[in-house]
Amino acid sequence: MHSALLLPARVLPARVLPARVLPARAWRVVLPALVAATIGLTGAPRPAAAADLHDAIRTTQQRVVKIFGAGGIANLHSYGTGFLVSDEGHIVTVWSHVLDGDVVTVVLNDGRRFYGKVLGAEPQLDLAVLKIDATDLPYFDLDQAATASPGSRVLGFGNLFKVATGDEPVSVLHGVISAVTKLTARRGRYEVPYDGPVYIVDAVTNNPGSAGGVLTTWDGQLLGMIGRELRDTDSHLWINYAIPIGELRDAIHSIRTGDFTPREEEEPDDNPQRYVATDFGIVLVPDVVYRTPAYVDDVLPGSAASQVGLQPDDLIVFVNGELVHSIRTLAVTLGRLEAEDDLRLIIRRGKALIPVEMRVPRREELQ
Amino acid sequence: MNRYCATLAIAALLLLCTTTRTFAQVDALEQEAFQQATALAGPSIVRIETIGGRDVVGELITGTGPTTGVVVSSDGYVITSSFNFIAQPAQILVTLPDDRRFTAEVVARDTSKMLTLLKVDVDGLEPLAATPKDDLRVGQWSLALGRTYSNTFPNLSVGIISALGRIDGKAIQTDAKVSPANYGGPLVDIEGRGMGILVPLSPQKSDETAGVEWYDSGIGFAVPLEDIYAVLPRLKAGEDLAPGRMGVTFEDTGPLAGEAKIEQVRPLSPADEAGLAAGDVIVEIDDEVIDRIPRLRQVLGTRYAGDTINVAVRRDDEIVRTDVELVAELSAYEPAFLGILPVRLPRDADATGVEIRHVYSDSPAATAGLEKRDVITAIDGTPVSTAADLLKELGRKLPDTTLTLAWRRGDAEQTAEVTLGTMPDELAEELAAASIPAPDEEAERPERGHLSRQLAGDERRYWAYVPDQLNLDYDYGLLVWLHPTGDTMESDILEQWRAICERRGIILVGPKAGNISGWTPDDAGFVKAVIEEMRQTYPIDPARIAVHGFAGGGNFAHFVGFRNRELIRGISTVAAPIRIPPPSNTPEYRLQLHFISGEEDALAEPIEETVEGLRQMGYPTTWISLPETGRAYPDEATIERLAGWLDQLDRL
């Protein structure tokens, strides 16, 4: 669920305010007037901000590379984006089918072409590091990477739809950070392994070819790596996101220094079914449709559920803080419980929401 | 801290920048303004979650993620987008920004602007202040906010107001990214006030998922919050709000349509009861000048059923004013029935009355004593010389209307009072085919027999069967065969229908789906073009054009038929219930339906429900249910009965 809270406190409402200067109603009139005045004051043929923004974009584009590799059949595109993280040709990009060949072609911003070799990859982070044989290259210093909060203006850089060829710089898009949240997404039918924090962006940054590009602040500070085209697990919408550099930094460093061991694959059985509702004395209504609400049909006498006062017709709406969309989602959560865990339910009875708590029994207690 | 202070803060910072700040710093200040506006509106934005419900609606897989709502009253009322409940969930939960959770009840819905009002049992909430509509300007910053990713801080997308008064005046448009991530949330201005509530809307469609296909496209809509507050007392009282209808039609309602000249007034509709008549030109509604139909749509778009509007019409150079109380549903229109079939005359015949080919037993015409070969000459004193004239007179009348009928039998003139009835559901009578004389062999005639053709400029093909005995002096019925998925059934259909076509004067045409694996909505235009081409080449009776389909082709026949009611008079299907609600029956289109189902078919029950539903809507509907039959194209005897129905489409 979208529960990660990474917001620095400063964007939240508390804020020290200066004394009264203008009546509030005048504000909407004042803004255009002020902007107009500022234009007048700067007076230069190229306004300072536009110059700043232009410079930030130029600097960033020089550090972003275009990658061409495997794919090109069916719906698989054969191109992507990456960015330089050292002056000696280390390139960070996403781990995807584009890298399936032994070597890929890397085209620098100045149009030079190199063969890139995959140094290593961390599928859990959707991360790969390439190496090209070149020196004195412009690059992002990962230790200087920034962080940002919702509402921050950002720029996205990537070779979406391979619009850029040769020495053409990659495309730049602008937007704001919509949210900072944990990724719950899928590709086709498959859940995506990465479930850490991401920046959700309100620009359409994640298009074919953009993956491996960068998200920066408006003054060009590196924020994150643009991910692939994914759909949100809950809403089924295409999402535009980037993985914060802080999540990738250690793995990039390890791959570069060669002491990298990919993380252990997490337990493949994500539906262990260790416990079921009747283990707690809860008999649910028959699961007849795809999203049958988790109504209690009966409570077994003497059971844990009867001791905490569950009743027939109660609707289980939350289990350990997660919304229970249906009997299926409840079954998955119960299946993952461990002995001695707390089982916290919130049930709806009439209009009231009632919290109850039970201890998860050990297996031998159930015999 | 309140909104007032925040405004001052931004203004103060901006004042500073006039002297010392650079543009980059203005950018930074704007960014802070976005964040502050979001934080200011935050306390009024709640998270909505649902439990249970359908997993697929139409083509759309419904989401299970959280959605957003906006507090509009401190005593627990929350307005949101109806899209958030398309799955018809069993339970709705609302989480406040302070993480308190409540169950929510649906209080009322607005099916015009696609909003739902929820109530939770809590007090002391902070309703969102509305931006006055007069202050809205195209180009203003607008922030689309949601509570879907985090309950601590709203998710936001920044854009500007792109347009005002969109979707018939119901919505403002923004280029901020609008999607299920913020449907139901607010579009706020730079001061954190609510400009509107984000909803999916479409200028073309009005169903519950309309407009979702435009998510994140830079075309998003919000219903002005001030408009919502204006009707909030009605919603709070539990009143569902629906688009208001008056019951008039116009020749052209497209974007280029001119003055609002009424083409037809639906009998018993509010417009009818207010005394509006065909030919009136609407020039004003509630003191707003109506110069063209698009303006009329703008003005009526924001009116609800139950509202009373003052309409000024121009009638014979006079201005007439009247009040019209709008309704949600126009009462079902059922065509009136006299009980005769007219004789089909040669195309160039000079008729002075409508000769009767057949009188239905127990019909009003039979009761009045009419007989075969009588010639109807006048209705209520208005002379009628052709079947089209007669239809024009009867088509406007409702069942139970009494009128005076004049007819000629031999040389004798007769009159009688007739009370009109309704079309019978059964076609009990065997009807002899209306014979068409053999053609003049010398005459030059277009291609006949079994043909295969391609529409000019289109990849798609169609086949046809034109009777060998084609006589260009007479009009023919047109039966459009829409094949089931995966099989054109060309030879089977030809074999079953060839003799019937010759005997009853029917031309058969079979368009082929662009992709044999199924009809797509895109094929509807192709089918229409095929019908038009047949009409140009052959003498076709506009009163006897029908579409006929089996299984998947039947579903498509419903789609094509209801979409082209100005062209198609009959829809006949085998093993195909109606899946989308049909439009209400109207006098301007005289559509009849015919269903065939097998009793052993799992579809028998939905087809029966379809038939009953259509009859309730006033559509003349005939149904043949075949015992001991599954899902199959029917046998010869049943097809013969269907051909009989086809031969009576021009009954009056």
Strand partners, B648: none
Residues of B in contact with A24 (CB under 8 A): 3-4, 7-8, 11, 191
Q: Return the structure tokens found at A10.
A: 């400063």
Q: What is the pLDDT of residues A154-197, one digit of tens each?
A: 999 999 998 988 899 999 999 999 999 988 877 666 678 888 99
**For residue B636, what are its two tokens?**
């010869």
Residues B65, A49: C-beta atoms closer than 8 Å: no
Residues A239 and A304 grouped into a single domain: no
Q: CA nearest A20 in B: which residue?
A: B8
Domain extents in chain B? 41-236, 248-325, 336-422, 449-646
Do the Cβ atoms of A11 and B63 come within 8 Å?
Answer: no
What distance in Å separates the CA atoms of residue A246 and residue A197, rounded to the nearest whole number?
Answer: 10
At A236, which CATH number? 2.40.10.10
Q: B39 vs A11: CB contact, 8 Å cut-off?
A: yes
Q: How far is A3 from chain B (nearest CA, A)?
A: 6
Count CA atoms within 13 Å of residue A297 on its CB side: 10
Q: What is the largest CA-CA distance in chain A?
A: 84
For an interface test with B, the pick among A20, A38, A218 (most B C-beta atoms closer than 10 Å) comes out as A38
How high is the pLDDT of residue A100? Answer: 85
Gyration radius of chain A over CA positions: 26
Name chain A contacts of B156, Cβ cutoff 8 Å. Answer: 150-151, 176, 178-179, 202
Looking at residue A46, what is its pLDDT?
Answer: 47
| Closest of A130, A125, A119, A97 to residue A225, by C-alpha | A125
Q: Is the pLDDT of residue B488 over 50?
A: yes
Q: Name which of B51, B121, B138 to mutate to probe chain A: the one with the most chain A Cβ atoms within 10 A of its Cβ.
A: B51
**Which of A30-34, A48-52, B26-30, B187-191 comes out lowest in average pLDDT?**
A30-34
Q: Are strands A315-319 and A241-244 parallel, antiparallel or unpaired?
A: unpaired
Residue A27: the pLDDT is 37
pLDDT at B585 over 70: yes
Pair (A288, A229) in one structural domain: no
Q: Sign of torsion, CA B494 B495 B497 B501?
A: positive
Amino acid letter for position A89: G
Cβ–Cβ below 8 Å for B150 and A24: no
C-alpha dihedral over A195, A198, A204, A206, to 10 degrees?
-50
Within 10 A of B396 (CB to CB), how many other CB atoms are there?
A: 16
For residue A14, tell me if it sits in a domain: no
Spell out which residues of chain A touch residue B53, defining contact as CB-CB under 8 Å: 291
Q: How far apart are CA B511 and CA A241, in angstroms?
A: 47
3-class secondary structure, B645? helix
DSSP letter for A264, please.
P
Rounded CA separation B330/B269 (Å) = 6
The helix (H) or strand (E) run that includes residue A90 is strand A90-94
Cβ distance A175 to B158 less than 8 Å, yes or no, reads yes
Count CB neighbours of B454 within 10 A.
11
Q: What pLDDT score does B518 carry?
A: 84
Interatomic CA distance for residues B640 and B636, integer angstroms: 6
Is residue B185 over pLDDT 90? yes
Question: How many other CB atoms are found less than 10 A from the CB of residue A185?
Answer: 23
Q: Are B424 and B360 in contact (CB under 8 A)?
A: yes
Query: Does the residue A317 lie in any domain?
Result: yes
| Coil/strand/helix, residue B19 | helix
- Cα separation, B334 vs A44, in Å, equals 75
Whose tokens are 């195209």? That residue is: B138
pLDDT digits (tens, 9 = 90+) for B278-324: 899 999 999 999 999 989 989 999 999 999 999 999 999 999 999 99
CB contact under 8 A, A202 and B87: no
Hey, what are A292's tokens? Answer: 């049958």
The residues in A 288-317 lying below 8 A from B, measured between CB atoms, are 289-294, 315, 317
How far is the alpha carbon of B19 from chain A, nearest alpha carbon, in Å? Answer: 8
The residue among A340, A346, A345 whose CA lies nearest residue A359 is: A340
Domain boundary among A229, A247, A265: A247
Instruction: Single out the residue of A244, A248, A301 nearest to residue A278, CA to CA.
Output: A301
- Which superfamily does CATH assign the domain made up of B336-422 to? PDZ domain (2.30.42.10)
Q: Which residues in B166-203 belong to E strands, given as ranges?
A: 171-174, 186-188, 194-199
Could you tell me if A324 lies within 8 Å of chain B, comparing CB atoms? yes
Question: pTM of this prediction?
Answer: 0.71
What string of pLDDT tens digits covers the 367 residues of chain A?
Answer: 333 333 333 333 332 333 333 333 333 333 443 444 444 344 344 455 567 889 999 999 999 999 998 776 666 788 999 999 999 999 999 998 888 887 899 999 999 999 999 999 998 899 999 999 999 999 999 999 899 999 999 999 999 998 988 899 999 999 999 999 988 877 666 678 888 999 999 999 999 999 999 999 998 999 999 999 888 888 888 899 999 999 999 999 999 988 877 666 555 566 678 899 999 999 999 888 888 899 999 999 999 999 999 999 999 999 988 889 889 889 988 988 888 889 999 999 988 899 999 999 988 887 6
CATH code for the part of the protein at B41-236: 2.40.10.120
Tell the CATH topology of B248-325: Pdz3 Domain (2.30.42)
Please give the full DSSP string across B79-121, using - where no structure is assigned.
EEEGGGGTT--SEEEEE-TTS-EEEEEEEEEETTTTEEEEEES
- CA-angle at B424, arms to B418 and B429, nearest 5°: 100
Q: Which of A325, A332, A353 to mutate to test the interface with B (most CBs of B within 10 A)?
A: A325
Query: How much is the ipTM here?
Result: 0.78
Q: How far apart are CA B152 and CA B157, in angstroms?
A: 16
Report pLDDT for B493: 92
- Among A56-65, B255-264, B399-408, the least confident range: B255-264
Q: Which residue in B570, B401, B412 sits closest to B481, CA to CA? A: B570
Give residue B150's pLDDT.
85
Give A-chain residues touching B21 at CB under 8 angstroms: 38
Structural domain contains residue A153: yes
Tell me the per-residue pLDDT of A214-223, one tens digit each, with 9 for 90 and over.
Answer: 999 998 999 9
Interchain proximity A52–B24, CB inside 8 Å: yes
Q: Is A47–B23 a contact, with Cβ atoms under 8 angstroms apart?
A: yes
pLDDT of residue B14: 54
Structural domain includes residue A258 = no
Decide if A41 is inside a domain. no
Residue B2, pLDDT score: 56
Residues of A in contact with B35 (CB under 8 A): 11, 149-152
Mean pLDDT, residues B464-471 taken together: 91
Question: d(Cα B214, Cα A204) in Å, to the nearest integer?
Answer: 13
Contact residues, chain B, for A14 at CB < 8 Å:
1
What is the structure's pLDDT at A258? Answer: 85
Q: Which has the closest alpha carbon to A333: A350, A351, A317?
A: A317
Domain that holds residue A181: 142-247
Query: 3-state SS of chain A: helix, strand, coil percent to 5?
Result: 25, 30, 45
**Cβ contact B93–A49 (<8 Å):** no
Are the Cβ atoms of A38 and B26 closer than 8 angstroms?
A: yes
Residues linked to residue B626 through DSSP beta bridges, in sequence order:
B598
Q: Are A224 and A290 part of one and the same domain?
A: no
CB A234 to CB B54 under 8 A?
A: no
pLDDT class for B19, splitting at 50, 70, 90? very low
With beta carbons less than 8 A apart as the criterion, state whether A123 and A152 touch: no
Nearest chain A Cα to B2, which residue? A13
What's the mean pLDDT in B258-263? Answer: 88
Residue A51 half-sphere exposure, CB side, CA atoms within 13 Å?
Answer: 8
Shortest CB distance from B52 goes to which of A42, A240, A291? A291
A47 contacts in chain B (CB < 8 Å): 23
Q: How close, in Å, is residue A29 to chain B by CA atoms?
A: 10
Amino acid identity for residue A311 in this structure: Q
Q: Residues of A numbered 177-206 whose beta carbons fall under 8 angstroms of chain B's beta carbons: which are they?
A: 178-181, 200, 202-204
CA distance B10 to A354: 44
B627: which 2 tokens?
């015992």
User: Residue A33: its pLDDT value, please?
Assistant: 39
Mean pLDDT, rounded, for B138-154: 94
CB spacing of A235 vs B87 below 8 angstroms = no
Q: What is the mean pLDDT of residues B168-183?
A: 95
Domains B41-236 and B336-422 share a fold: no
Sign of CA dihedral B511, B516, B519, B525: negative
Cβ separation of A348 and B90 shorter than 8 Å? no
Q: How far is B292 from A10, CA to CA, in rounded Å?
A: 53
In percent, the amount of chain B with pLDDT more than 90 equals: 56
C-alpha torsion sign, points A328, A329, A334, A336: positive
CATH architecture of residue range(s) B449-646: 3-Layer(aba) Sandwich (3.40)
Please report which residue ranges of B513-551 form alpha helices under DSSP H. Answer: 523-537
A40 to chain B, closest Cα gap in Å = 9
Position A37 scores a pLDDT of 40
CATH number of the domain where residue A329 is located: 2.30.42.10
The band of B586, judged by pLDDT with boundaries at 50, 70 and 90, is confident
Q: Are A131 and A91 in contact (CB under 8 A)?
A: yes
Q: Contact B74/B190 with Cβ under 8 angstroms?
A: no
Strand partners, B342: B356
C-alpha to C-alpha distance for B333 and B267, rounded to whole angstroms = 8
Tell how strand B476-482 and strand B506-511 pair up. Answer: parallel
Number of inter-chain CB pairs under 8 A, A vs B: 218
pLDDT higher than 60, residue B231: yes
Q: With cut-offs at 50, 70 and 90, classify the pLDDT of residue B338.
A: very high
B5: nearest CA partner in chain A: A17
B298 forms beta bridges with none
Overall average pLDDT of the B98-120 stretch: 95
* β-sheet bridge partners, residue B593: B571, B621
Q: Are residues A226 and A285 in the same domain?
A: no
DSSP letters spanning B205-269: --STTTTGGGTTTT-EEEEEHHHHHHHHHHHHTT--B-B-B--EEES--STT--SEEEEEE-TTS
Q: How many CA atoms lie within 13 A of A40 on its CB side?
A: 8
Answer yes or no: is A55 within a domain. Answer: no
β pairing state of B621-626 and B570-574: unpaired
* Cβ neighbours of B9 in A, within 8 Å: 15, 17-18
Indicate whether A299 and A356 sit together in one domain: yes
Distance of CA B417 to the CA centre of its chain: 38
Displacement of CA A313 from its chain's centroid (Å): 38
State the Cα angle at A146 between A144 and A148, rounded to 5°: 180
Contacts of the segment A294-298: beta carbons below 8 A, 24+ positions apart: A294/A324, A294/A326, A294/A327, A294/A330, A294/B51, A296/A347
Tokens at B118, concatenated: 């929820």
Which residues of chain A from 105 to 124 reach within 8 Å of chain B, CB to CB?
none
- B175, B199 in Cβ contact below 8 A? no
Question: Tokens representing B427?
Answer: 């076609």
Q: Is residue A196 one of the residues assigned to a domain?
A: yes
Phi, psi of A254, rounded to the nearest 5 degrees: -65, -40
**Whole-number pLDDT of residue B130:** 97
Contact B259, B314 (CB under 8 A): no
Which of B102, B148, B157 has its CB closest to that of A2?
B148
Mutating which of B68, B92, B141, B158 best tests the A interface, going by the most A Cβ atoms within 10 A? B158
A 327-356 residues with CB below 8 A of B? 346, 348, 351-353
8 Å CB contact of B8 and A24: yes
Beta bridge partners of B418: B403
Assign B351 to helix, strand or coil. Answer: coil
Other residues' Cβ atoms within 10 Å of the Cβ of residue B251? 11
| Number of structural domains found in chain A | 2
Q: Is the pLDDT of residue B589 over 90?
A: no
Residue B421 DSSP SS3: strand
Q: Which residue has the higher pLDDT, B628 or A157?
A: A157
